[in-house]
Structures are given as structure tokens and as C-alpha cells.
Structure 1
Amino acid sequence: MELRRLGDGWPSWAGRAALVWSAGYAAGAAVAALTGPAFGYALLGSLHGTAAEWILAALYGGAAVLAGVMLRRPGLRWPVRLAWPVVGLCLTSGFGFLFSLTRVLFFLSRNQPPMDWAAWTNEGVAVAGSVLWLAAALAYRRRARGVCPHCGGGRSRVDAPRRTRAAFVAVAALVPYTVMKTAWALGSTIGYTGEGSPGLDPHYASDLALRLYAHGVDATAVLALVGMGLALALTTAWSARPVRPVLLGLGWAGAATLAPFGVFLAVVGTLMWTGAVDVGFAGHAPWVVLVAYGGFSVYGLALGRATRAYQLRTRRACARC
């Protein structure tokens, strides 16, 4: 009952929670910079050290100041424009946590680097911060617009769009990747000019992954099919609990993870072809990174649109406005 009451009252406490979280996260970064313990603070998941910790302390300290302004001046419109980049900053800091499944899979494979539990925990805290800041930004914007802070005064479920096209776009975005990885598992080398088997490194792959690959099944292609199924499931009218929270959680998590991940891979691939960096994609044709891996970004964006439509279509009428 208390948890339900807490969830129902989120517009009233989200701003204060974002302020406390930002101040605490900034203080932790400053302590790490001053004393040197490995708290897991890093920029873009890879830039570690005192400089990165001070930068994060300054950024999240500024976020705490912004949260204070939002609490004291609820009628302004400009703070929310800065709140959305803070949400993105938190997701960037917690980017690795969104791929926790891959980190867990490390235990099922060989010769993987040891798990950095401090970094993993820190990234999880950052993801929690992104949720708090998203709630605070939504509540602040809705109050500034004079609409219901709980539902936003949006359209009713009857008028909500289905966005079936978005789901089909999400499915189509993963088709090149799925076909390519399956073709590689079946013995083809299309788009691959390097040595060894494309798509699978026997030095790291688990015994299960090797057995599946030997029978023409790539594990990541199977995950892509699951992602397609999720996109299509969002076109339905399932609203019964616990189905709805599960679909919304998977949909928003997939959108937040894969939309920036595809852009990251496309940028890295471009830098690799220009000779600026060497990240191990040398044996792949340019279209592999742009079309197959870059499709993750298209999938993430389309999945987010389909998830939003599903959320509007299946929500219950707001009893507070």
C-alpha cells in the first residue's frame, strides 16, 4: 500500500529526489577525485581518472542546482529544456548497466576480462538517476503548462494511435542484421574479409554458443528475433497486469539502449574507415557497420515510438484530473 501511494504521488516528490540524487552523485565523484578510490566514475564508460571524476562532479553539481531552481521557480519554462539533457547525461553514465545482460553472459563465456563491480554499481545508480530526472522533468513541464501532472492531460486511450507502422519499421531495421548473422552461421562470409569465422570468436564464445553456431544458429540473431517479437507485441491492446508493465519496461529499456548504441557503432565504424581508430572492425565491409549494426539505432527509435503509442493506448483513465 505504501509503495502504491508513493508511486501515485511521484509528481510531488520527483523534483526533490532528483536534487538529492544529483547532489549525492556529484559528491561521490568529488570524493573519488580527491581520495582516489575506484568508485566506478567514468565518462562514456571508458575515460577514467581524476579529470573525468572532476568533470562529472561539475556536471552533476550543476544538475543539482538546476533541480533546486525547478523546485523554487515552478512557473518557468526554460529549466525543463535543460532537464532533458540531464536525463541523457545520466543514461550516458549508466550506458553499461543497460547492457547488464551481456555482462552476465560474460560468465557463460571464456577468457573475458574480470567484472568491474564498482563500475557496474555506479552505472546502475546513474540509470536510477535518469528515471528520477525523467519523472522530475515531466512533472515540472506539466505544471508549467497547467495540465494534470499525473497524466499530462493527454489524449484518451480511445484516441491514442496504434503506431503499427513504427513496429514494422523496428522489425525491418533488424532484418539485415538477423540475415547477415544467420548467413555467417551457415558458412557464408558476405561482408567479411578477415580471418577465421565471422560473427564468432572461439577464444571468447561459450561452449553453448559454439554448439549453436555449429548448427547454423547465431545467439545474437535469436535475440534479434525476440526484439522483433517485442515490437509486434506493442501493437496489441494488452493492458492486463502484469503484461503491460513488462512490455513497457522492455520497450523503453530497448529504446534507450539501442538508439544511442547504433549511433555509437556507426560513428566508430566511420572513424575506423578513416584510420582514426582501430577497434577490430577491419575485416568488415563498410555496409556491415552502417546497415546491420546501425540498424540498432533505427530499431531503438521506432521501438520508442511504438512503446509510447502502446502506453497511451492501454492506460487507464486518470482519476485525478
Structure 2
Amino acid sequence: MRVRAGSLVGMGPKRWWAAWPSWAGSAALVWSALYAAGAALAAATGPAFGYAPLGGTARGAAAQWASAALYGGAAALAYGMRRWPGRVWPGWAAWGVVALCLTSGFGFLLSLTRVLAFLSRDQPPMDWAAWANQGVAVAGAALWLGAGLAYRRRGRGVCPHCGGARAAAGARSTRAGLVAAAALVPYAVMKTAWALGWTAGYVGEGRPGLDPRYASDLAIRLYAHGVDATAVLAVVGMGLALALTRPWGAGPVRAALLALGWAGAAALAPFGVFLAVVGALVWAGLVDVGLGDHAPWVVAVAYGGFSVYGVALGRATGAYRARTRRPCARC
């Protein structure tokens, strides 16, 4: 089903949103062109607006020009998707743009951790320009996700709104939810063991798993009683993954589960991959980020688990959405 751009004028917000397959590709094209132009302008004029393909880990004119080139290429891809409907490779390339946007918005996805005062203190000052820029990148990821889905579904000849029937959605949701929950078990066990006084995987001085220079007073008190706050959060994450396997239908509970599932997947999948790469560089002796007191398997358990959890949570959330949504009225 295609809707002419002019016919979107005068639509109410609900009808306009329901017609997303018809405008997602155009929106991704406009967004990519504007974001690339902003990065080029920042590189040419000098202000640091936070344009960086790697989520703020690299700054300066080189990172800004790289962003301009990458997102300019994304705009060209969006134009090609309009000109070459039905081809396979643009649909796959669209997922690469989604990953690029999420990487650029890495800091925004994790910025909510700053409000968890009970976890840490002495946080570095917030760069609000970069934070807002990263939020725009996350919005671009959402637009590109919609554009990629609509393009691939049209190419397969199925409904662009729902993707067609998914009879196995329930089974996929259960399997992916169980994998996501299991991925965090080693991390929760390791951090709880450290809080209880064990030192497996730690060869430094003092107690592993807690730096008093940054931990809050509440986190220190909990740790003294064998409770690691991040292990508690891991258990909460397991509960979310398992909740996606349950047959809850429409309503506030479903909306909350979908919001938490997509947010967790978008934040932790790239987070785990990024830190896994850092861990590999540390093992190779190319960088030093202060992990010399920990055995190599600690990095694999902690950060590898985050990555597996993020990917499995995204799959569980998608299958949960397909299983619990109402029948599509447009098929």
C-alpha cells in the first residue's frame, strides 16, 4: 500500500502515524541530508556540536567530516531505495545505517544512568550540545528502522505495516527471552560473589567490583552487606526478558514492556559490542583502561553478556510485539 505524500496533508496525528510505511523512507532521506549538512557545517566553522560516528569517543574536525561523509552516503542510500524498489542489498544496507545511528547516539542511550545517583557519583559534567546531538541520532535510527522495514516488506510482497503472518512469534519470543535472561546470569553471580568477599578473577588490592571514589554512600553500604547494585539491575533485566515470554495483551503493561525492551536492546547491544572490542584491545596490550587487575575472562563475562542480552532482548521484544498486537486492518 502506497500513500501519496500530498494525501498526508490534513491527516490527523493518529492516521498520519498509521501511514508510516509511506513516509518513513522520505523522512530518513531528509533526516540524513540535514544531519550530514550539520556535521559538514560544524567541521567547516569549528563549533563542537557533538558530531561523532563513535558516540563521542572521537571529537574534532576529522570526526565531523567523517560523520558528514557517512550520513551523506546514508542520504544517497535513501534516495536509491526510492529509485530501486525490490532490490535486496539496500534493505541490508539500511540496517547498517541503523547501527551507525545507534553508535552515534551511544551516549544518549546510556545517559539515563546519570540519574541513578545510588550507583555512582563524581560524574563528569554533561555536554548538553553533544547529548542533544546524540538524541537526534537516536531519532534517525528510528526513522531508518521504519524505512528499512517498509522497503524489505514491500520487496517480499507482504504487508508493509505488519510484515505478514508470524505464526512462530510466540516460540521465538520464549526462546529469545530465555537466552537474554541466561546471558546476565554469569554477571549477576560474579558481582554478587565479589560483594560477598570472593575474589575470583581479581588479582589487585582491596575488594573487586566497587571503587569508593565513585560509588555513592548507599552503594557502599549495600556492598558491605553483600548486595551489588549492578547485580540487582541485572536481575531486573532478567525479569524484563522473562516478562516478554508471557501472554500479556494490549494495554499499559504491553506498552511499557515494548518501550523497556526496545530501549534496553538499543542501549546494551552496541554497548556490549563496544566494550568487547575494548576488552580485545586490552588483552592485546594496545590500550590500558585500568583493567589490569582483572582476569581476561571477567571482561568476557561482563561485557559479552551485555551484548548477547541486548541482541536477544531485541529479538524477544520484536516477537512479543508480533504475538500480542491486534490483527492488521490493512492486510
| TM-score, shorter chain, exceeding 0.5 | yes
Describe how 1:62-141 pairs up with structure 2 within 5 A: 62-105=73-116, 109-141=120-152
1:50 partnered with 2:61: yes
Count of residue pairs brought into register by the alignment: 319
**Unaligned residue ranges in structure 2 (runs of 5+):** 1-10
TM superposition shift of 1:299: 1.5
Cα drift, residue 53 of structure 1: 0.4
Determine the C-alpha separation between the residues in 2 that align with 1:275 and 1:320. Answer: 56
Letter in 2 for 1:129: G
1:106–1:112 Cα contact (<8 Å) kept: no
How far apart in 1 are the matches of 2:79 and 2:103? 22
- Partner residue in 1 for 2:153: 142
Query: Partners in 2 of 1:107 and 1:240 — Cα distance?
Result: 34
What amino acid sits opposite 1:261 in the alignment? F
Alignment match, 1:161: 170
Q: Within 1, Cα distance between the matches of 2:39 and 2:253?
A: 38
Mapped to 1, the partners of 2:140 and 2:305 lie a distance apart of: 28
Q: In 1, distance between residues paired with 2:118 and 2:34?
A: 32
Q: Call closer, same or farther: CA 1:102–1:243 in 2, change over 3 Å.
A: same
Structure 2 residue 201 is the aligned partner of structure 1 residue 195: no
Structure 1 position 47, deviation (Å): 0.8
| TM norm structure 2 | 0.91
Q: Does 1:259 align with 2:269?
A: yes
- Of residues 212, 215, 237, the one that matches 2:225 is 215
1:107-138 residue CA offsets vs partner (Å, 9 max, x unmatched): 97432211111111111110000000010111
**Counterpart code for 2:89:** W
Distance 1:120 1:106 in 2: 19
Distance across 1 between alignment mates of 2:237 and 2:146: 26
Match of 1:228 in 2: 238
Residues 162, 310 of structure 1: 8 Å contact kept: no
State the partner residue of 1:151. 162
> Which of the residues 279, 285, 292 maps onto 1:282?
292
Residues in 1 aligned to 2:76 and 2:179: alpha-carbon distance in whole angstroms:
40
Whole-angstrom distance in 1 between the partners of 2:300 and 2:37: 40
- More displaced 10-residue stretch of structure 1: 14-23 or 256-265: 256-265
Matched, 1:237 2:252: no
Shifted more, 99-108 versus 262-271: the winner is 99-108
Are the structure 2 counterparts of residues 201 and 81 from structure 1 closer, same or farther at C-alpha, using a change threshold of 3 Å? same
* Counterpart for residue 312 of structure 1: 322
Give the stretch that moved more between structures: 175-184 or 145-154: 145-154
Q: Which whole-Å CA distance do the structure 1 matches of 2:308 and 2:100 have between them? A: 21
SS at match of 1:199: coil
RMSD: 1.8
Tell whether the 8 Å contact from 1:162 to 1:313 is kept in structure 2 after alignment. Answer: no
Moved over 6 A (4+): none
TM-score normalised by length of structure 1:
0.94
